Structures are given as structure tokens and as C-alpha cells.
Structure 1
Amino acid sequence: MTRLGAAVQKIDERIPGVDLPLMSVSQTKGVVRRSELTDAPQRAESLDAYKVCRKGDIVFNRMKIRSGAMGVAHEDGLITYHYEVMRPREGMDPRYIVHLMKSSWFTSELIARERGISAGGEHGGIRTTEVPFSVLRTIDVFLPKIDEQRIIADYLDRETARIDMLVDEQQHLVEMLHLRRRAVVDAVLSQGLDSEAVLFRTGSPWLPDLPVGWKAVRAKHVLSFGPANGVSPAPSDTDDLKSLSLGAIRNGRVIMGPEVTKFVDRSSLESTESLRLHPGDILLVRGNGNVDRVARAGLVGPEFAAEKYIYPDLLIRIRVNSSMLPEFFVWACNASPTRAQVRAQARTAVGTFKVAGGDIRSLLLPLPPVDEQRAIVAYLDKQTSKIDQLIAETERFIELAQERRGALLTAAVTGQIDVREAA
């Protein structure tokens, strides 16, 4: 073993006025032209501050190095200040160095040396981490001779490409399953369970056709309580009053657990009982940086009867009256027609999209008879649970494949397998 600095040197070359393509780094594609990754404008007003990378250089994002955002440049180009350039020294194969740096063994060495970068002023928290080259170069690594590096790199190029192709296929399957799930929900909420049901024109662009016997109603007509925003008291160091995070709303449910629970100071509240969540309550996301998450609804389940929770100010609570089942409201609120209404109403400030109580009350929802609502909820619960199980199994397969990739890289670059025999 020897230090990484013996294998590479940092390059900081800047040539004002040079005409070279603008490059970026993808976790899956390596170093490619930015035009292959985005349709955004390719050029800043001035490229004088951009760094030059040469063919064969190693380029990595110093704030995303742990996630594998690195690769070998296959042509000369320009990169922004977010990236670092390392040039292999004589007798070093850049492909081997990249595989080495992507291995789970090297990642553990990175984690031990990361430093935090704070943001948001003096009260800002840790936003991200980085490992500067001055630290990176001190990591002890395995450096076989150049001919062995090439053999290992050839083997890993081939094997990781197979794994990456398999992962891409499974990720595409997950996307298709999500589309299938959405199609099932949208079809039932617009046509009912009877495929031969007679439809009528509502006159609304959001819900243009509904089965005879249904209504298109504003949410305000089915509410018995709310919309009411929560509160966000200061955090507490004691296990006192429990509150939820935005992540508690998942797949139409409000979950509880350590990952979505935070403790807050009750002394700043006159009363906590009015904020307590009860089974049958519905929570909606009031604000989020992703507009598709805004107004996503989740049902508070029976487990909350025994656990006292309040909810934060970025969540909204409602209750429905007897004309609509709370389970049906959640399905309808999360369906595509309602999502389109939310996108049209949501307002953004400093990167956060928000809706107000009036926006929630004005949402147009389908309203079948209660007995039909009950049948639809049962059908959707059954059908989507099957799809959700397939999604979970596929995502687990992807996770295992990625773990296998990291383990393979580590085994190859640390000499645990003889790749000549495995070839």
C-alpha cells in the first residue's frame, strides 16, 4: 500500500478564452458533456474561471465523491469549481484509480476523513460534506503494477457494466410499476368499479367525466374540521412532547417511529390537546421544495389512539364529515386530477412551494355514494398493495445489486480475488 498522492496529482489548469465543451460528472455515465445530462443553458457569461480537464484525467465532485460522482475524461473539456481534476502519474491506469475510489473499502476511508460544510449563516446546520485533495492524497491505497491495474480495470469495466445494466432495467421496472399504480387509482376514481358505468359531463376541466350518481364537489363541502395548520415549538432535549416530521406521510398513511418523531418543548404551548392527532384525522403537506409532495395526504391510523402526537406547522389537519370516508378522501387527494390542481395553486418563495387552507378547501373531488366509496377503498387497498410489494421487492433487488457492485470493486482492488481466474 502507498498513499494516493503517489498515484495522482491535482491539476488546476485555467485557460481564459479556450473553446472546449462544458463537461459534467454523472454517477452512472462518468465524465460526459453537460448537454447529454440536461437541456439547461450550456454556457455562463464567462468561462475564464472554469478548470480544464484533459483526456485521461480523473474528474470528481468533491461534495459527492462518496456517492461515486467521478470518472475518467474521454476528451478535453471545461468543468466548474465544484469539480476536482487529478492526473494519473506515470505507470498508473486512470480506470483502476476510479474503480479503487468507488469501492466500499475506499468509501469507508472517505467517511472517516470527511469534513462538514455549514450553510444558512451562523445558525445554519451541516448541509453537505467534502474531502479536499489535501486529505484525499493521504489515504493509503493498493497500487499493483500497471499491467495488473489494467487487468483489474478490464475485469471491473466488464462486470460493473453488467451490474449497471441490470440495475437500469430494474429501475425502469420500478418506474413502470409506479405508472401502473397511478393508472389503477386514477381509473377507479374517475370511472368507478363498473367498467360499463354511464358517464356524464361535469363541466370541469379537472374532473371532466364521472359516473352517473357521483358528484364533483369542493373539498369544503366534505370537511367537518379544518384545514388547520400545526405548530413547531422549539426542540426539546427530553423525551417529552412528540411531534412528527414531513416524512411521516407515506403512501397515504401517517406513520410513527424514531425516524419521523421529534421531541418539542411543550412549555411554549397553552394547550396540547387541541393539537393532538386522533385516528381518522387526515394530514396534508403544507409546504415542500418538491411541488409534487405539496398537499399529499395521509390518514392517521388507530395506533395514534395510544400515542400522543402533535403535528408541525408545515402540515395541515382536516377531518371529513359523513358524506365522505377519510380513506376515500386520501385516495382522491393523492390522485392525478387533484395533483394537477395543487400544481396550479401552489405558490413558491425561496424554493418552497406552499398551499393555504383556502387552496385545500377549493380542491375539486369526486364524491360517489358512501357504499361505493367503501368498495373503491377496499379495491384500491388490495390492488395497490400487490403493486407496492413488487416495487419493494424490485428496490431491494437493486439495493443488493449495488451492494454487490461495491463488494466486487473492493475485492478486486484489495487483492481478495484473482481476476485472471475470474475472467
Structure 2
Amino acid sequence: MEVSDGTLRYGSIHFDGSISRRPDTTTIQGTTYLARPQDVVFSRIDIRNGAIGVVPNEFGSLAFTNEYPIYDVNAVGRVIPDFVRLLCRTQVFRSQVEALVVGHSGRKRVSAEMFEDLPIPAPTIDDQRAIVERHMQHVSEAMCLRRKAADALAGAVDEITRLLDLKSPDVAPITKPFVIPSHRATRWSVFAATAVAQGISDELQSCYPVKPLGDPELSLVSYGIQKSPRNRPDKNGRPYLRVANVQDAYLDLREIKYIDVPDAQMDTYRLEPGDILFCEGNSAELVGRPALWGGEIEDCVHQNHVLRARLNQDALLPQYLMAFMQTAPSRGHFRRRAKKTTNLATINSSDVRELLVPIPPIAEQNHIADLWVSAQEEAAKLRAAASEAEKKAFTETEVLIAGG
């Protein structure tokens, strides 16, 4: 059914099979189509990635473009919507779908006609419900484990905030509505107003001395080597870290590229264990999140879009700095400083140098670092268990669907 009056919310389908509503301000050009609660909808481009879902009852009807075929499977009565969604997200089905994609790279699609021609098993309705219920038990277990992992990290951040006695509008923001005079609106900021309302300084406060990270006694902040046609890997090819390698508090070293760096420049650009790395650009939420270099690759350098803070470890421990940088004041510093475009937030070396950091005695830094490392280890174990539960959810589902 076509939709033309613009009164409906548009829907989005995600790779995990969930469906969400787009903001009510979203406008899409052209004809759209109506999907009612419990209708099955898939993305012609991303069904091979798992983008097929069922419209939730609580959303009411949603609108989709013709890139999203819509099916009322309840009308036939042979299969239930949740079983179709589950079946189409199994590896066996997705491998069949992958063979059907046509079109240019990056915009390959599966046509509705090809999708409809795929044969599917159809157990009894009772068996379908049992398979879905069993699958959701595993999924719920995985979600519970991931929540516990997030809670472990959040609890550690709360404890670090308490141990450092951090006071900042970032730590306890005002969440209720409040009023400002209209003549001050052009000079007003949430951060400054929150500080005034709470009666605290808008500078970071702690029970320990606070210093900027760029203080010469604490660290040296620098950019990496700029990539150009002149330094393509040759006789002095060196492994180097790109933005893609520096993730949210960890390094992704699965793909390492090379760049030519003469011996004379290696002392300038070579990474050393304990270096803290920052991406110059990231999402607004993740901008300023650090990763710790542990010497994983010998003679590794870094690109100019990756900033490096080399710490004086007699005064500031790397793992302690990593722990502090999970707190609200650190995250808030970079969010406020970042220059934002539509999809990217960027920081520069001055933003890194001017980050205010509490400097406890080394013994206390070690204690806080150990607290954070323990929380990370616990969270990693819980996430690994969650991944196993998710894997089991689909492997068991495939066996049940096959009648095993």
C-alpha cells in the first residue's frame, strides 16, 4: 500500500534484525509503502548482512521506500513472522542470499522476486514458536552478559571518579529543565550554566593536583608521519598505525600497512611501549578516546592523523591515564573541543595537551590502573561468553530448523 500523506514515521532496519523509527523530522523523497505491525520487512541491499526484521506492535505502522519489500506472512498462516526473521538471519540462508546479489560494488541488491523464489523449511507453527523461543533464550542470555560487561566498566569508572574526588559539570550534569535570561542566550553554554547552578568551578577539580597533559613534566604530544607518494614502502618500509588501527580503548592490528621511513627519522616516529594514541577524527561520542601501545610490533610508526602522547612514567603512568580518560570530565573535554561536521568530530594536538589530568602519587595511580585493568578483563570475559551464547543461538537454531 502506498503512503503519500507524510503522517507516518519512517522505519530503519539494522544488521541485528531490529527495526527502529527514524526521527519524525526525517523526510524521504518519492513514494513510500506501509508496513503494519508484525509485517516482515527486509533491506534489498543489506539482507545479506542480516537486515530483515518484524515491525514491532508498539510502533504501529511504519513507512518504507521501495528498497524495503514488505510481507504480511500472517495472512497465509504457514509461517510466523519471528520464524521468518530468524530463518533469514541464519548463516545457511545468508549464504544463499549472497549468491543472489546483483549490481555494482557497494550497491549490490537482492530483488524481491529472487528472495521470494528461495525455498524455506516450514515446520509446524508450534515447532516454529518453540525454535524462536529457544533462540531468544540464548539471545537474552547474551544480552544479560553484555549488560554485566557494561556495568562492570561503568562501576569501575564510578569508583575512579570517587577515588579522584572529581568535581566538574561533566560528573553531575543538570538533567531537569531550567531557565536563563533571553539576553544571555547568545553567550550561554550548558557546561558553564551547569557549573554556576551547582556552585562549582567549570575547571576540573580533584583531591589531587591537576595539570594539563601537555605539561613538559608529564608528556610530549606529537603527530605522526604524513603519508605521501614519496614515502610509499621501499627499502625502508616500516609498519605504521592508521586511524583504523586505533579503536575505542584497544588496538585493531589485524591489518597493518607499511610506509617508507629512513633510519634518520625513526627516533622521531617510532612508537614505544606506554605511548598513548588518539585519533584526530572520530565520531562525536568516541572522539578523544585513547588506546595504549604495548610494543606489539617492532619498529612501528604512526600516521599524522594519529596523535601520540609519550609519558614521563616517573610522573604519569599509562594505564592510570587510560583509566582517567574513561571518566566524564575527560570525555566532556574532547566533546566540547571537537570541531564537528556531519559525520566526524576532530581534535588537534592542543586539545590533547590541554586535557586536565589529576596527578595522584604513583602508588595511587597504580591502584587506579589495576582497578581499571581488572574491570576490562572481567568485561572481556563476559563479552566472550556473550559471543558464545549468540553463536550457540544460531548454530542450535540451524540444527532445529534442519530437523536435527
TM-score (norm 2): 0.74
1:112 to 1:263, Cα distance in 2 relative to 1, 3 A: farther
1:381 to 1:24, Cα distance in 2 relative to 1, 3 A: closer
Which of the numbers 276, 279, 285 marks the counterpart of 2:279?
285
Name the CA distance, whole Å, in 1 between partners of 2:291 and 2:72: 51
Which of the numbers 327, 335, 338 marks the counterpart of 1:335?
327
1:93 to 1:267, Cα distance in 2 relative to 1, 3 A: same
On the 8 A contact 1:62/1:84 being kept in 2, the answer is yes
1:375 to 1:91, Cα distance in 2 relative to 1, 3 A: closer
On the 8 A contact 1:206/1:341 being kept in 2, the answer is no
Deviation at 1:338, TM superposition (A): 0.4
SS in 2 for 1:293: coil
Deviation at 1:285, TM superposition (A): 1.7
Deviation at 1:320, TM superposition (A): 1.8
1:223 to 1:135, Cα distance in 2 relative to 1, 3 A: farther
Residue 44 of structure 1: aligned partner: 27
Deviation at 1:186, TM superposition (A): 3.9
Deviation at 1:86, TM superposition (A): 4.8
Name the CA distance, whole Å, in 1 between partners of 2:17 and 2:64: 16
Q: Does 1:225 align with 2:204?
A: no
1:28-58, CA deviations, whole angstroms, 9 ceiling, x for partnerless residues? 777x7xxxx3472166387x61124478864
Residue 294 of structure 2: aligned partner: 301
Residue 109 of structure 1: aligned partner: 96
Residue 78 of structure 2: aligned partner: 93
Q: Does 1:170 align with 2:150?
A: no
Residue 180 of structure 2: aligned partner: none
Deviation at 1:297, TM superposition (A): 1.4
Name the CA distance, whole Å, in 2 between partners of 1:250 and 1:45: 33
Residue 65 of structure 1: aligned partner: 47
Name the CA distance, whole Å, in 2 between partners of 1:63 and 1:23: 15
Residue 358 of structure 2: aligned partner: 366
On the 8 A contact 2:160/2:323 being kept in 1, the answer is no
Deviation at 1:336, TM superposition (A): 2.6
Written as runs of structure 1 = structure 2, the 5 A alignment for 1:146-165 is 149=122, 151-165=123-137
Residue 316 of structure 1: aligned partner: 307
Name the CA distance, whole Å, in 2 between partners of 1:174 and 1:223: 36
* Unpaired runs of at least 5, structure 2: 166-198
Q: Percent identity?
A: 20
Q: Which structure is higher in strand share?
A: 1
On the 8 A contact 2:138/2:389 being kept in 1, the answer is no
Residue 417 of structure 1: aligned partner: 403
On the 8 A contact 1:252/1:331 being kept in 2, the answer is no
Name the CA distance, whole Å, in 1 between partners of 2:362 and 2:7: 67
1:280 to 1:71, Cα distance in 2 relative to 1, 3 A: closer
Residue 131 of structure 1: aligned partner: 110
SS in 2 for 1:83: coil
Residue 2 of structure 2: aligned partner: 14
Deviation at 1:176, TM superposition (A): 3.6
**Greater displacement, 74-83 / 275-284:** 74-83
1:269 to 1:82, Cα distance in 2 relative to 1, 3 A: farther
1:179-210, CA deviations, whole angstroms, 9 ceiling, x for partnerless residues? 332331342354259xxxxxxxx9644644x3
Deviation at 1:283, TM superposition (A): 0.9
Name the CA distance, whole Å, in 1 between partners of 2:294 and 2:319: 10
State the one-letter code of the partner of 1:220: G
1:250-275, CA deviations, whole angstroms, 9 ceiling, x for partnerless residues? 564546x4x141234x2899945522
Deviation at 1:278, TM superposition (A): 1.8
1:400 to 1:100, Cα distance in 2 relative to 1, 3 A: closer
State the one-letter code of the partner of 1:93: R
Q: Does 1:183 align with 2:155?
A: yes
State the one-letter code of the partner of 2:65: T
1:169 to 1:353, Cα distance in 2 relative to 1, 3 A: same
Deviation at 1:167, TM superposition (A): 1.5
Deviation at 1:359, TM superposition (A): 0.8
State the one-letter code of the partner of 1:132: S
On the 8 A contact 1:50/1:81 being kept in 2, the answer is yes
SS in 1 for 2:331: helix
Which of the numbers 82, 89, 95 marks the counterpart of 2:67?
82
SS in 2 for 1:217: strand
Name the CA distance, whole Å, in 2 between partners of 1:324 and 1:25: 45
1:154 to 1:186, Cα distance in 2 relative to 1, 3 A: same
On the 8 A contact 2:212/2:354 being kept in 1, the answer is yes
SS in 1 for 2:214: helix
On the 8 A contact 1:174/1:395 being kept in 2, the answer is no
Residue 174 of structure 2: aligned partner: none
Name the CA distance, whole Å, in 2 between partners of 1:55 and 1:302: 53
Residue 239 of structure 2: aligned partner: 242
TM-score (norm 1): 0.71
Deviation at 1:99, TM superposition (A): 5.2
State the one-letter code of the partner of 1:109: Q
On the 8 A contact 2:42/2:51 being kept in 1, the answer is yes
1:134 to 1:299, Cα distance in 2 relative to 1, 3 A: same
1:300 to 1:57, Cα distance in 2 relative to 1, 3 A: closer
Deviation at 1:91, TM superposition (A): 6.6
1:159 to 1:301, Cα distance in 2 relative to 1, 3 A: same
State the one-letter code of the partner of 1:319: R
